[in-house]
Amino acid sequence: MDTQFVGEHLWPGKLGHLFVISTFVGALFSAFSYWRAVQTEKTDAYNSHSWQLMGRNGFVLHAASIIGIFFALYYIIANHLFEYHYAWQHSSLALRSKYLLSCFWEGSEGSFMLWTLWNSILGLVVMSTAKLLETRTMAIISLVQAILATMLLGFYFGPDVKVGSTPFMLLREQMQGAPIFSSPNYMDFIKDGNGLNPLLQNYWMVIHPPVLFLGFATTLMPFAYCVAALWKGEYESFVKPTIRWSLFSGAVLGTGIMMGGAWAYESLNFGGYWAWDPVENASLVPWLTLVAGLHTLLVYKATKRSLIVTFILLLLTYLLVWYSTFLTRTGVLGKTSVHAFTGEGSALYWHLLIVLGVLLVLSIAAMTARWKQLPRIKTEEATSSREFWMFIGSIVLLLSAVQISITTSIPVWSPLVKWISGKDVAPPVDVMSHYNNIQVWVAIIIAMLSATILYLKFKQTGWATVLKRWGITGGIALVMAGLVGYAQKITTWQYDLLLFSTCFAIVANIYYAIAIQKAKLKQLGPSVAHLGFAMLLLGILISSYNKEVMSLNTLGVTFDLSKDDKMKAAKENRENVLLFRDMPVAMGEYTATFRGDSTSPSDPRTFFKVDYERVDTASKAVKERFRLYPDAFVNTKERNLISSPATKHYWNKDVFTYVNSYQMGGEEKFKDYTVHQGDSIFLGTGYLVFKGFNKEVNNPAYKPEEGDVAVTADLAYFDLKGVKGMLRPVYYIHDKFDNQIEDTLKSSGVTARLQKILPEQNAALIQVKQESGKNDYVVLKALLFPYINLVWLGVIVMVIGFFISLRNRLSY
């Protein structure tokens, strides 16, 4: 039964398998050794140190192995070894080399590997910096690493239970029983791989997943330090490193999330950077709790208050990271999410549930064991103190996370509701307004707090100066909000409130940085981060409140509508518009003209050329002209396309265009239309209206003879500007045979033929064709986002703020 297969490259896979096993064993060994080191710490210092050294060696072995896995898998993908299932499924020969790395994160094996890799690198940093907390933090980190490594094992226990999934699986092992693998030279038939999902062939997809996974990895460190502190029962030494790691985590995770937004904005057709999609929410929620935990930790550092809530928030953050993995990787979200993730089946489902259970039990055990001895302060904090309001802000962030989680988790808890009440709960029909209507209040409160809290002092504040400063900044903010609100026509009162609070936060943080901190870079972290956050909120507000669909189709609706429906139809956004080649169509303040397509041999995509022109209404002079190239992967066989938008960037707005459908090179063929008097026939560049039959035949090509019956169909040709001319094709019966004489309208290239008269229906069968090229069209959507750059700038400023704080805290 042993077939000798020809043409396989087995050594990278075998090496990879070896690394997978050693990475698991190394992590397990390290966790055990560190645990022993903690156990023997008090009783036997010498032994404890030996255990610690072994733990270190184990972790180094683990980290080296995971790097080995990375290179083995990279070798397989880069050399197109399609005998490996992973390479076959996620890459192809045509894949451009810059996207090779993207293959790592299309499949879940590669994603888990990347996650483990980041963890191990950060783990090495913790190992060399944690000092007295090293044994405990590293025991936790190694334990998590061992758990993560099980995701890559791919071991079978019996025929049905599979633990993990290895990226080094051979194609023939994955698809056992497929007839092709019975021939030893099967490799001769496997010439190419499945290829990478076109949506991932985008530069954002090269950097967004690794940054996001780095963000996920960083949340492990605050978790490990918190558990270590609880384990040790000592609540001092963990504070500084946890603040540093939380700052780093907030910066990286925040960047990762917004890079996802940038990707959605630039390559997906959501028409935006944030759609409250479950997958996006799942990564946002841990960031919210992390930021909340960071703030309560700062409170604890300054005042010794809020320790318990800090532990809860930071432990919860890590659990939520795993919960988000559970949501996005197991296909639970199924019918509610847009993102293209694989459902890995029930094995991964239970595997992740077990991991979540283990981490949850660990967290709860650590908390309950120390619950009674956790330091608490009996006295009350003053209402004028900074810690009081920071605590409130953190709770608001937590509640925001709770709300987002409940709605996002509908597919998780709806089976229970169905079981109890029989109601099959679905997400809100209008998801965007559901979240926006609730989260706008969170945004208002958080912006107000970040405008005002910095002026308060820890423990006790003198009201007089604070009120004066609030008054000044609030006054400036009110003027600013008034101006922006008037210019941007923001009339909904909730959003006016948000506008004021974000302006307040912007003004207050700038004022604080300049007037109070005297722009000393070292201390600027918090005010810069809060300034960035406020700018982000303002950017979100303006860009989404005034988002404009430029391609709004206002042409008449051609299907039957009763009166009520018309009201509804008027409300409906008819967002697609049809552009025939070389026919300008007004869109917002622009006119758009489709100019054909272009392809290049080195690029699999088709580019559609769309010219935009902005004409001054008074002088008729062209003020601006530019061309956009929305592109698409076109599947010629099935005539469908996966399109990505093209965007014209201005400093204060983006014009965003993408193609939904197209027709090119329409052949010159007659098409049949059965029409009654008054009916229209829609063509490439205009339409024909059938005015009726006419017995007066004046066509020079027709010479009347005795006994003939002759009639013409009068067709008026309209283009978008009006009547262009008449076509009068002739139909006559001569000698019992019917004959047709075509008529052509040269200027428009339209030819019509009266094929038949259908007397019983009182209708005519008319055949029409139009010169090729004139029938080419694209269906496109164009959107205008004002001040979108404020969103990106806000994120960048916020992240810079995180890093300034981090640098400041590292230099101590």
Partner 1 sequence: MKKTHIVVLVLVAVAVCIIVTMFSDFSTYETFASASKQPGKAFHVIGYLDKSMAMDYDPVKDPNHFTFYAKDKSGGVTKVIFNGEKPRDIEKSEQIVMKGYVEGGAFHCTGIQMKCPSKYKQRDMTVSGNAS
CB of residue 188 vs partner 1: minimum separation in angstroms?
Answer: 21
Q: How far apart are CA 156 and CA 145, in angstroms?
A: 20
Binders in 74-103 for partner 1, by CB under 8 A: 89
726 binding partner 1? (CB under 8 A): no
Q: How many CA atoms lie within 13 A of 146 on its CB side?
A: 19
- Is 529 a residue that touches partner 1 (CB under 8 A)? no
Q: Are 324 and 286 in contact (CB under 8 A)?
A: yes
**Residue 180 binds partner 1 (CB under 8 A):** no
Indicate whether 402 belongs to the interface with partner 1 (CB under 8 A): yes
Which residues between 325 and 344 bind partner 1 (CB under 8 A)? 331, 334-335, 337-343
With binding defined as CB under 8 A, does residue 57 bind partner 1? no
**Selected range binding partner 1 among 40-48, 201-209, 472-480, 658-666, rule: CB under 8 A:** 658-666
Determine which helix (DSSP H) or strand (DSSP E) holds 800, and give its type and residue range: helix 788-810
Q: Is 25 exposed, middle or buried (0-12, 13-18, 19+ CB in 10 A)?
A: middle
**HSE toward the beta carbon, residue 457, CA cutoff 13 A:** 9
Length of the chain: 812
Q: Check residue 557 for interaction with partner 1 (CB under 8 A).
A: yes
The mark string for 664-683 relative to partner 1 (x by CB under 8 A, - otherwise) is ------------------xx
**Pairing between strand 722-727 and 730-734?**
unpaired
Question: Per rule CB under 8 A, is residue 609 in the interface with partner 1?
Answer: no
The answer to whether the beta carbons of residues 661 and 776 sit under 8 Å apart is: no
User: What does the alpha-carbon distance between residue 261 and residue 268 come to, in Å, rounded to a whole number?
Assistant: 10
Q: Are 547 and 652 in contact (CB under 8 A)?
A: no
Quick one: CA torsion of 262, 268, 272, 276, rounded to 10 degrees? -90
Nearer to partner 1, 107 or 286 (CB): 107
Residue 390 Cβ vs partner 1, minimum distance, rounded to whole Å: 11
What DSSP assignment string belongs to 158-208?
Answer: TTTEEE---TT-BHHHHTTT-GGGGSTTGGGT--S-----GGG-SHHHHHH
Among 486, 493, 559, 737, binds partner 1 (CB under 8 A): 559
Q: Does 411 bind partner 1 (CB under 8 A)?
A: no
**Does 637 interact with partner 1 (rule: CB under 8 A)?**
no
794 in Cβ contact with 532 (< 8 Å): yes
Subset of residues 428 to 487 that bind partner 1, contact rule: CB under 8 A: 428-430, 434, 438
> Which among 249-257, 270-278, 312-320, 753-761 is the span making contact with partner 1, rule CB under 8 A?
270-278
CB atoms near residue 647 (< 10 Å): 17
Identify whether the C-beta of residue 314 lies closer than 8 Å to the C-beta of residue 306.
no
DSSP 591-620: EEEEEEEEEETTEEEEEEEEEEEEE-TTT-
* Smallest separation (angstroms) from partner 1 to the CB of 380: 5
3-state SS assignment for residue 709: strand
Please report whether residue 409 would count as binding partner 1 according to CB under 8 A.
no
- The crossing angle, in degrees rounded to 10, of helices 108-129 and 45-78 is 150
Stretch near partner 1 under the rule CB under 8 A, chosen from 123-131, 154-162, 427-435, 606-614: 427-435
271 binds partner 1 (CB under 8 A): yes
- Residue 43 or 554 with smaller CB distance to partner 1: 554
The answer to whether residue 563 forms part of the interface with partner 1 (CB under 8 A) is no
270 interacts with partner 1 by CB under 8 A: yes
Q: Of 68-76, 378-386, 740-748, 802-810, which part binds partner 1 (CB under 8 A)?
A: 378-386
CB within 8 Å of 576: residues ≥ 6 apart? 551, 553, 660, 779, 780, 781
Cβ(466)–Cβ(472) under 8 Å?
A: no
Residue 594 contacts partner 1 per CB under 8 A: no
Residue 399 in contact with partner 1, rule: CB under 8 A: yes
Kindly state the smallest distance separating residue 448's Cβ from partner 1, in Å.
14
What is the nearest approach in angstroms of partner 1 to the Cβ of residue 16?
21
Q: Identify which of residues 638 and 735 has a Cβ nearer to partner 1 in the complex.
A: 638
- Please choose, out of 128-136, 226-234, 422-430, 601-609, the segment that lies near partner 1 by the rule CB under 8 A: 422-430
Nearer CB in complex with partner 1: 118/658:
658
* Count of residues interacting with partner 1 (CB under 8 A): 70
Query: Which parts of 268-306 fold into alpha helices (H)?
Result: 278-303
594 DSSP β-pair partners: 581, 610
Angstrom distance (rounded) from CA 102 to CA 114: 11
Per CB under 8 A, does 176 bind partner 1? no
Rank residues 15 and 642 by Cβ distance to partner 1 and give the closer one. 642
Per-residue contact string for residues 182-201; x = within reach of partner 1 by CB under 8 A: ------------x--x----
Residue closer to partner 1, measured from CB, 188 or 565? 565
Query: Cβ of residue 493: shortest distance to partner 1, in angstroms?
Result: 18
**554 binding partner 1? (CB under 8 A):** no
Closest CA relative to residue 458, chosen from 385, 394, 388: 385
**Contact assessment for residue 464 and residue 491, using Cβ atoms and an 8 Å cutoff:** no
Exactly one of 254, 256, 427, 539 binds partner 1 (CB under 8 A); that residue is: 427
Binding site for partner 1 (CB under 8 A): 89, 194, 197, 269-271, 275, 331, 334-335, 337-343, 380-381, 383, 388, 391-392, 395-396, 399, 402-403, 406-407, 410, 423-430, 434, 438, 553, 555, 557-559, 562, 565, 568-569, 571-578, 638, 640-642, 660-661, 663, 682-684, 777, 779
